Amino acid sequence: MSRRPTILVIDDEPGMQHMLTRLLQPAYAVAVAGSGPEGLAQVDAVAPDLILLDLQLPQMSGMSVLRQLRDTGKDVPVIILTAYGSVDAAVQALKCGAVDYLGKPFTAQQLEHTLQAFFTGRKTVQELPSCQGVIGESPQIRKVWQLLERYGPTDMPILLQGETGTGKELFARALHEFSKRGQGPFVPVDCAALPETLVESELFGYHKGAFTGADSSKPGLLTWANGGTLFLDEIGNLPLSYQAKILRVIQEQRYIPLGGREMKTLDARFVSAYNRDLQEAAHGGTFREDLYYRIAGVTVVIPPLRERQGDITLLTRHFMQVYSRKYQRLPLDIADEAMDLLRAYHWPGNVRELEHVVAGAVILADQCLRPEHLAPHLLGGRMYPPPSCR
Protein backbone atom coordinates (compact mmCIF):
# COMPACT_ATOMS: atom_id res chain seq x y z
CA MET A 1 0.00 0.00 0.00
CA SER A 2 1.55 3.33 -1.06
CA ARG A 3 2.04 6.08 1.49
CA ARG A 4 -0.43 8.96 1.43
CA PRO A 5 1.25 12.33 0.82
CA THR A 6 1.27 14.57 3.88
CA ILE A 7 -0.05 18.12 3.58
CA LEU A 8 0.61 20.70 6.27
CA VAL A 9 -2.05 23.44 6.53
CA ILE A 10 -0.79 26.66 8.14
CA ASP A 11 -3.81 28.92 8.66
CA ASP A 12 -5.09 30.71 11.76
CA GLU A 13 -8.79 30.45 10.85
CA PRO A 14 -10.42 27.38 12.49
CA GLY A 15 -13.10 27.32 9.78
CA MET A 16 -10.48 27.15 7.03
CA GLN A 17 -8.53 24.48 8.94
CA HIS A 18 -11.68 22.36 9.28
CA MET A 19 -12.73 22.83 5.64
CA LEU A 20 -9.29 21.94 4.25
CA THR A 21 -8.98 18.91 6.51
CA ARG A 22 -12.40 17.69 5.35
CA LEU A 23 -11.55 18.22 1.67
CA LEU A 24 -8.08 16.70 1.84
CA GLN A 25 -8.86 13.55 3.81
CA PRO A 26 -8.73 10.63 3.18
CA ALA A 27 -6.59 11.11 0.04
CA TYR A 28 -3.91 12.93 2.06
CA ALA A 29 -2.57 12.82 5.60
CA VAL A 30 -3.25 16.26 7.08
CA ALA A 31 -1.38 18.21 9.77
CA VAL A 32 -2.59 21.64 10.96
CA ALA A 33 -0.86 24.68 12.46
CA GLY A 34 -2.43 27.97 13.48
CA SER A 35 0.62 30.23 13.31
CA GLY A 36 3.95 30.64 11.56
CA PRO A 37 6.15 29.41 14.43
CA GLU A 38 3.87 26.42 15.00
CA GLY A 39 3.96 25.65 11.30
CA LEU A 40 7.76 25.74 11.17
CA ALA A 41 7.87 23.35 14.13
CA GLN A 42 5.43 21.03 12.35
CA VAL A 43 7.69 20.97 9.27
CA ASP A 44 10.35 19.29 11.39
CA ALA A 45 7.84 17.01 13.13
CA VAL A 46 5.81 15.64 10.18
CA ALA A 47 8.09 16.20 7.14
CA PRO A 48 5.22 17.29 4.85
CA ASP A 49 5.23 16.72 1.10
CA LEU A 50 3.43 20.04 0.61
CA ILE A 51 2.45 23.09 2.65
CA LEU A 52 -0.75 25.10 2.19
CA LEU A 53 0.24 28.46 3.68
CA ASP A 54 -2.00 31.44 4.42
CA LEU A 55 -0.21 34.75 3.88
CA GLN A 56 -2.21 36.58 6.57
CA LEU A 57 -1.01 35.06 9.83
CA PRO A 58 -0.61 36.48 13.37
CA GLN A 59 2.85 36.81 14.98
CA MET A 60 4.68 35.88 11.79
CA SER A 61 3.44 36.54 8.25
CA GLY A 62 3.19 33.82 5.64
CA MET A 63 5.89 35.62 3.64
CA SER A 64 8.22 35.42 6.65
CA VAL A 65 7.50 31.69 6.91
CA LEU A 66 8.39 31.29 3.23
CA ARG A 67 11.66 33.18 3.66
CA GLN A 68 12.63 31.19 6.76
CA LEU A 69 11.95 27.90 4.96
CA ARG A 70 14.19 29.06 2.13
CA ASP A 71 16.92 30.46 4.38
CA THR A 72 17.11 27.29 6.50
CA GLY A 73 17.32 25.05 3.44
CA LYS A 74 13.97 23.29 4.03
CA ASP A 75 13.02 22.43 0.47
CA VAL A 76 9.29 21.89 1.05
CA PRO A 77 6.94 22.95 -1.78
CA VAL A 78 4.49 25.67 -0.73
CA ILE A 79 1.14 26.66 -2.21
CA ILE A 80 0.04 29.96 -0.75
CA LEU A 81 -3.52 30.92 0.18
CA THR A 82 -4.31 34.57 -0.34
CA ALA A 83 -7.31 36.86 -0.61
CA TYR A 84 -8.79 36.71 -4.12
CA GLY A 85 -7.32 39.43 -6.30
CA SER A 86 -4.16 39.95 -4.20
CA VAL A 87 -2.03 39.51 -7.29
CA ASP A 88 0.95 41.51 -6.01
CA ALA A 89 1.21 39.35 -2.89
CA ALA A 90 0.95 36.19 -4.97
CA VAL A 91 3.70 37.37 -7.33
CA GLN A 92 5.97 38.20 -4.42
CA ALA A 93 5.36 34.80 -2.84
CA LEU A 94 6.10 33.00 -6.12
CA LYS A 95 9.36 34.94 -6.40
CA CYS A 96 10.20 33.79 -2.87
CA GLY A 97 9.82 30.15 -3.87
CA ALA A 98 6.12 29.25 -3.65
CA VAL A 99 5.07 26.83 -6.39
CA ASP A 100 1.47 28.04 -6.80
CA TYR A 101 -1.30 30.02 -5.15
CA LEU A 102 -5.03 29.76 -4.48
CA GLY A 103 -7.19 32.86 -4.12
CA LYS A 104 -9.72 32.79 -1.28
CA PRO A 105 -12.48 31.81 -1.52
CA PHE A 106 -11.76 28.79 -3.69
CA THR A 107 -13.89 25.82 -4.63
CA ALA A 108 -13.23 22.17 -3.87
CA GLN A 109 -12.70 21.63 -7.60
CA GLN A 110 -10.06 24.39 -7.78
CA LEU A 111 -8.24 22.88 -4.83
CA GLU A 112 -8.38 19.42 -6.39
CA HIS A 113 -7.04 20.66 -9.74
CA THR A 114 -4.20 22.52 -8.04
CA LEU A 115 -3.13 19.52 -5.98
CA GLN A 116 -3.52 17.13 -8.90
CA ALA A 117 -1.32 19.36 -11.08
CA PHE A 118 1.32 19.49 -8.36
CA PHE A 119 1.44 15.79 -7.49
CA THR A 120 1.32 14.53 -11.07
CA GLY A 121 4.34 16.65 -11.96
CA ARG A 122 4.83 19.73 -14.07
CA LYS A 123 5.49 19.79 -17.77
CA THR A 124 8.84 20.81 -19.15
CA VAL A 125 9.28 23.01 -22.21
CA GLN A 126 10.20 19.96 -24.32
CA GLU A 127 6.85 18.32 -23.48
CA LEU A 128 4.75 21.15 -24.88
CA PRO A 129 3.23 20.66 -28.34
CA SER A 130 3.33 24.43 -28.95
CA CYS A 131 7.05 24.53 -28.19
CA GLN A 132 7.65 23.01 -31.61
CA GLY A 133 6.44 26.26 -33.18
CA VAL A 134 8.92 28.45 -31.28
CA ILE A 135 12.37 28.13 -32.81
CA GLY A 136 15.22 29.67 -30.85
CA GLU A 137 18.08 28.98 -28.50
CA SER A 138 19.18 32.54 -27.78
CA PRO A 139 19.54 33.70 -24.15
CA GLN A 140 16.56 36.02 -24.69
CA ILE A 141 14.23 33.18 -25.68
CA ARG A 142 15.55 30.94 -22.92
CA LYS A 143 14.67 33.67 -20.41
CA VAL A 144 11.11 33.78 -21.77
CA TRP A 145 10.77 29.99 -21.37
CA GLN A 146 12.09 30.20 -17.79
CA LEU A 147 9.35 32.70 -16.91
CA LEU A 148 6.67 30.62 -18.61
CA GLU A 149 7.80 27.47 -16.80
CA ARG A 150 7.65 29.32 -13.48
CA TYR A 151 4.33 31.11 -13.85
CA GLY A 152 2.55 28.89 -16.39
CA PRO A 153 1.33 26.25 -13.90
CA THR A 154 -0.32 28.94 -11.73
CA ASP A 155 -3.54 30.84 -12.41
CA MET A 156 -1.60 34.10 -12.40
CA PRO A 157 -2.89 36.58 -15.03
CA ILE A 158 -0.09 37.05 -17.57
CA LEU A 159 0.53 39.92 -19.99
CA LEU A 160 2.65 39.09 -23.04
CA GLN A 161 4.20 42.22 -24.48
CA GLY A 162 5.99 42.21 -27.81
CA GLU A 163 6.02 43.65 -31.30
CA THR A 164 3.77 42.29 -34.03
CA GLY A 165 5.12 39.05 -35.45
CA THR A 166 7.06 37.91 -32.36
CA GLY A 167 4.81 34.90 -31.73
CA LYS A 168 2.78 36.04 -28.74
CA GLU A 169 -0.07 33.60 -29.46
CA LEU A 170 2.36 30.66 -29.55
CA PHE A 171 3.64 31.63 -26.11
CA ALA A 172 0.07 32.08 -24.87
CA ARG A 173 -0.69 28.52 -26.00
CA ALA A 174 2.42 27.36 -24.15
CA LEU A 175 1.17 29.04 -20.97
CA HIS A 176 -2.12 27.18 -21.38
CA GLU A 177 -0.34 23.85 -21.87
CA PHE A 178 1.83 24.47 -18.80
CA SER A 179 -1.23 25.19 -16.68
CA LYS A 180 -3.51 22.97 -14.65
CA ARG A 181 -6.15 23.90 -17.25
CA GLY A 182 -4.13 22.35 -20.08
CA GLN A 183 -6.86 19.78 -20.83
CA GLY A 184 -9.45 22.54 -21.11
CA PRO A 185 -10.16 24.87 -24.03
CA PHE A 186 -7.79 27.57 -25.27
CA VAL A 187 -9.91 30.40 -26.66
CA PRO A 188 -8.10 33.20 -28.52
CA VAL A 189 -9.86 36.54 -28.98
CA ASP A 190 -8.41 39.08 -31.43
CA CYS A 191 -9.56 42.32 -29.80
CA ALA A 192 -8.24 44.34 -32.76
CA ALA A 193 -10.51 42.48 -35.18
CA LEU A 194 -13.72 42.66 -33.12
CA PRO A 195 -16.08 45.39 -34.40
CA GLU A 196 -17.12 47.62 -31.50
CA THR A 197 -20.79 46.84 -32.11
CA LEU A 198 -20.15 43.10 -31.71
CA VAL A 199 -17.73 43.05 -28.76
CA GLU A 200 -20.36 42.42 -26.09
CA SER A 201 -22.37 39.81 -28.00
CA GLU A 202 -19.23 37.92 -29.09
CA LEU A 203 -17.71 37.86 -25.60
CA PHE A 204 -20.79 37.42 -23.42
CA GLY A 205 -23.15 35.68 -25.82
CA TYR A 206 -26.86 36.47 -26.02
CA HIS A 207 -30.33 35.08 -25.54
CA LYS A 208 -32.97 34.84 -28.22
CA GLY A 209 -34.65 38.20 -28.70
CA ALA A 210 -31.86 40.18 -26.99
CA PHE A 211 -31.68 42.50 -30.02
CA THR A 212 -33.02 42.75 -33.55
CA GLY A 213 -31.83 39.73 -35.50
CA ALA A 214 -31.18 37.55 -32.43
CA ASP A 215 -33.42 34.73 -33.66
CA SER A 216 -31.74 32.16 -31.41
CA SER A 217 -29.46 32.08 -28.38
CA LYS A 218 -25.72 31.94 -28.85
CA PRO A 219 -23.02 31.24 -26.23
CA GLY A 220 -20.19 33.74 -26.06
CA LEU A 221 -16.44 33.25 -26.04
CA LEU A 222 -16.45 33.44 -22.23
CA THR A 223 -18.66 30.35 -22.17
CA TRP A 224 -16.31 28.48 -24.51
CA ALA A 225 -13.32 29.39 -22.30
CA ASN A 226 -14.83 28.00 -19.11
CA GLY A 227 -12.39 25.55 -17.52
CA GLY A 228 -9.57 26.74 -19.75
CA THR A 229 -7.72 29.86 -20.87
CA LEU A 230 -9.08 33.03 -22.48
CA PHE A 231 -6.40 34.74 -24.56
CA LEU A 232 -7.15 38.43 -25.14
CA ASP A 233 -4.83 39.29 -28.02
CA GLU A 234 -4.13 42.98 -28.71
CA ILE A 235 -6.19 43.90 -25.65
CA GLY A 236 -5.11 47.52 -25.96
CA ASN A 237 -7.52 47.84 -28.90
CA LEU A 238 -10.54 47.00 -26.75
CA PRO A 239 -12.83 50.08 -26.44
CA LEU A 240 -12.74 51.74 -23.01
CA SER A 241 -16.43 51.06 -22.38
CA TYR A 242 -15.87 47.31 -22.76
CA GLN A 243 -12.66 47.36 -20.74
CA ALA A 244 -14.82 48.10 -17.69
CA LYS A 245 -17.00 45.06 -18.43
CA ILE A 246 -13.97 42.77 -18.82
CA LEU A 247 -12.55 44.11 -15.55
CA ARG A 248 -15.76 43.15 -13.74
CA VAL A 249 -15.71 39.66 -15.25
CA ILE A 250 -12.12 39.11 -14.12
CA GLN A 251 -12.86 40.42 -10.62
CA GLU A 252 -16.11 38.56 -10.05
CA GLN A 253 -15.65 35.55 -12.36
CA ARG A 254 -19.29 36.02 -13.33
CA TYR A 255 -21.18 37.63 -16.20
CA ILE A 256 -24.66 37.97 -17.72
CA PRO A 257 -25.26 37.24 -21.44
CA LEU A 258 -27.09 39.91 -23.42
CA GLY A 259 -30.82 39.60 -22.79
CA GLY A 260 -30.24 37.26 -19.86
CA ARG A 261 -31.22 37.64 -16.21
CA GLU A 262 -29.12 34.98 -14.52
CA MET A 263 -25.44 35.24 -13.70
CA LYS A 264 -23.14 32.69 -15.31
CA THR A 265 -20.02 31.66 -13.41
CA LEU A 266 -16.66 31.62 -15.13
CA ASP A 267 -13.64 29.53 -14.22
CA ALA A 268 -10.96 30.66 -16.66
CA ARG A 269 -7.42 31.96 -16.67
CA PHE A 270 -6.80 35.26 -18.44
CA VAL A 271 -3.75 35.71 -20.65
CA SER A 272 -3.46 39.01 -22.53
CA ALA A 273 -1.13 40.41 -25.16
CA TYR A 274 -0.32 43.78 -26.71
CA ASN A 275 2.20 44.97 -29.27
CA ARG A 276 3.16 48.13 -27.38
CA ASP A 277 3.84 49.19 -23.79
CA LEU A 278 0.43 48.76 -22.14
CA GLN A 279 1.52 50.55 -18.98
CA GLU A 280 2.24 53.68 -21.02
CA ALA A 281 -1.21 53.37 -22.58
CA ALA A 282 -2.73 53.12 -19.09
CA HIS A 283 -0.84 56.17 -17.87
CA GLY A 284 -1.86 58.02 -21.05
CA GLY A 285 -5.55 57.35 -20.49
CA THR A 286 -6.17 55.12 -23.52
CA PHE A 287 -6.33 51.99 -21.37
CA ARG A 288 -7.88 51.58 -17.92
CA GLU A 289 -5.25 51.52 -15.20
CA ASP A 290 -7.33 49.26 -12.96
CA LEU A 291 -7.67 46.72 -15.77
CA TYR A 292 -3.95 46.95 -16.54
CA TYR A 293 -3.00 46.07 -12.97
CA ARG A 294 -5.52 43.23 -12.97
CA ILE A 295 -4.25 41.53 -16.15
CA ALA A 296 -0.53 42.24 -15.66
CA GLY A 297 0.11 40.05 -12.62
CA VAL A 298 3.30 39.14 -14.47
CA THR A 299 4.52 40.83 -17.65
CA VAL A 300 6.60 38.72 -20.02
CA VAL A 301 8.36 40.67 -22.77
CA ILE A 302 8.81 38.73 -26.03
CA PRO A 303 12.04 40.00 -27.64
CA PRO A 304 12.01 41.24 -31.24
CA LEU A 305 13.99 39.24 -33.78
CA ARG A 306 16.65 41.96 -34.12
CA GLU A 307 17.59 41.33 -30.46
CA ARG A 308 18.00 37.59 -30.94
CA GLN A 309 20.49 37.50 -33.81
CA GLY A 310 21.63 34.01 -32.89
CA ASP A 311 18.21 32.61 -33.79
CA ILE A 312 18.02 33.95 -37.35
CA THR A 313 20.07 31.07 -38.80
CA LEU A 314 17.96 28.47 -36.96
CA LEU A 315 14.71 30.08 -38.05
CA THR A 316 15.84 30.44 -41.67
CA ARG A 317 16.80 26.78 -41.99
CA HIS A 318 13.59 25.73 -40.25
CA PHE A 319 11.42 27.73 -42.67
CA MET A 320 13.44 26.46 -45.65
CA GLN A 321 12.58 22.89 -44.63
CA VAL A 322 8.94 23.71 -43.97
CA TYR A 323 8.33 25.42 -47.31
CA SER A 324 10.45 23.01 -49.33
CA ARG A 325 8.10 20.26 -48.14
CA LYS A 326 5.01 22.41 -48.64
CA TYR A 327 5.93 23.35 -52.21
CA GLN A 328 7.33 19.87 -52.97
CA ARG A 329 10.83 21.17 -53.68
CA LEU A 330 14.10 19.31 -53.20
CA PRO A 331 16.02 20.22 -50.03
CA LEU A 332 17.81 23.54 -50.48
CA ASP A 333 21.14 24.87 -49.32
CA ILE A 334 21.70 28.58 -48.71
CA ALA A 335 24.60 30.75 -49.90
CA ASP A 336 26.68 32.49 -47.25
CA GLU A 337 25.93 35.86 -48.87
CA ALA A 338 22.19 35.27 -48.55
CA MET A 339 22.48 34.25 -44.89
CA ASP A 340 24.61 37.35 -44.20
CA LEU A 341 21.87 39.55 -45.65
CA LEU A 342 19.26 37.88 -43.48
CA ARG A 343 21.38 38.34 -40.35
CA ALA A 344 22.09 42.00 -41.16
CA TYR A 345 18.45 43.01 -41.75
CA HIS A 346 16.55 44.67 -38.86
CA TRP A 347 13.26 42.68 -39.31
CA PRO A 348 10.54 45.17 -38.35
CA GLY A 349 7.96 42.42 -38.96
CA ASN A 350 9.94 39.98 -36.79
CA VAL A 351 9.62 36.19 -37.18
CA ARG A 352 6.49 36.50 -39.29
CA GLU A 353 8.32 38.69 -41.84
CA LEU A 354 11.29 36.30 -41.93
CA GLU A 355 8.93 33.40 -42.60
CA HIS A 356 7.32 35.21 -45.54
CA VAL A 357 10.70 36.19 -47.00
CA VAL A 358 12.02 32.63 -46.80
CA ALA A 359 8.78 31.18 -48.22
CA GLY A 360 9.05 33.46 -51.25
CA ALA A 361 12.74 32.66 -51.73
CA VAL A 362 12.11 28.90 -51.62
CA ILE A 363 9.71 29.23 -54.56
CA LEU A 364 12.35 31.05 -56.64
CA ALA A 365 15.42 29.06 -55.64
CA ASP A 366 16.75 25.96 -57.37
CA GLN A 367 19.09 23.84 -55.20
CA CYS A 368 20.67 26.93 -53.65
CA LEU A 369 18.97 29.96 -52.06
CA ARG A 370 20.96 33.04 -53.19
CA PRO A 371 20.68 36.80 -52.52
CA GLU A 372 18.75 37.42 -55.74
CA HIS A 373 16.00 35.09 -54.47
CA LEU A 374 15.37 37.30 -51.45
CA ALA A 375 12.85 40.16 -51.32
CA PRO A 376 14.26 43.31 -52.98
CA HIS A 377 14.12 45.43 -49.82
CA LEU A 378 16.75 43.16 -48.23
CA LEU A 379 19.24 43.84 -51.03
CA GLY A 380 19.31 47.60 -50.64
CA GLY A 381 19.78 48.09 -54.40
CA ARG A 382 22.89 45.90 -54.52
CA MET A 383 23.52 43.41 -57.31
CA TYR A 384 24.99 40.00 -56.52
CA PRO A 385 26.74 37.58 -58.85
CA PRO A 386 25.45 34.00 -58.57
CA PRO A 387 27.67 32.53 -55.78
CA SER A 388 27.92 28.83 -55.17
CA CYS A 389 26.53 27.22 -52.06
CA ARG A 390 28.96 25.54 -49.75
pLDDT in tens, 179-234: 888 889 999 999 999 888 888 889 998 888 777 777 788 888 999 999 999 999 99
Q: What ranges make up the beta strands (E) of the chain?
A: 6-10, 29-33, 50-54, 78-83, 100-104, 158-161, 186-190, 205-206, 218-219, 229-233, 254-255, 264-265, 269-274, 298-301, 333-334, 368-369
d(C-alpha 33, C-alpha 40), whole Å: 9
Condensed to tens digits (0 to 9), the pLDDT of residues 1-20 reads 457 899 999 999 999 999 99
Between CA 42 and CA 381 the distance in angstroms is: 73
Q: Is the pLDDT of residue 387 over 60?
A: no
Where exactly does CATH 3.40.50.300 map onto the chain? Answer: 130-301
% of the chain beyond a pLDDT of 70: 95
Residue pLDDT, tens place only, 308-351: 988 999 999 999 999 999 999 888 999 999 999 999 999 999 99
- The pTM for the full model equals 0.83
**Is residue 181 within 8 Å of residue 234, measured between CB atoms?**
no
| DSSP calls for 231-242 | EEETGGGS-HHH
Evaluate whether the domain defined by 6-119 bears CATH number 3.40.50.1000. no
The predicted pLDDT at position 15 comes to: 93
Residue 73 is predicted with a pLDDT of 85
- pLDDT of 296 strictly over 70: yes
Asked whether 191 and 238 are in contact (CB, 8 A), the reply is yes
* List of E strands, 95-215: 100-104, 158-161, 186-190, 205-206
Tell me what pLDDT residue 382 has.
57
CB 312 within 8 A of CB 353: no
pLDDT tens digit string along 234-252? Answer: 999 999 989 999 999 998 8
Q: What residue ranges of the chain are covered by domains with CATH 3.40.50.2300?
A: 6-119
> Given this model, what pLDDT does residue 3 score?
76
- Predicted confidence (pLDDT) at residue 53 exceeds the cutoff of 60: yes
**What integer pLDDT is reported at residue 1 of this predicted model?**
41
The CATH label, of 3.30.70.980, 1.10.1740.10, 3.30.465.10, 1.10.8.60, for the domain at 306-379 is 1.10.8.60
Q: Report the CATH number of the 130-301 domain.
A: 3.40.50.300
pLDDT at 278: 95
* Weakest-pLDDT range from 28-32, 127-131, 148-152, 282-286: 127-131
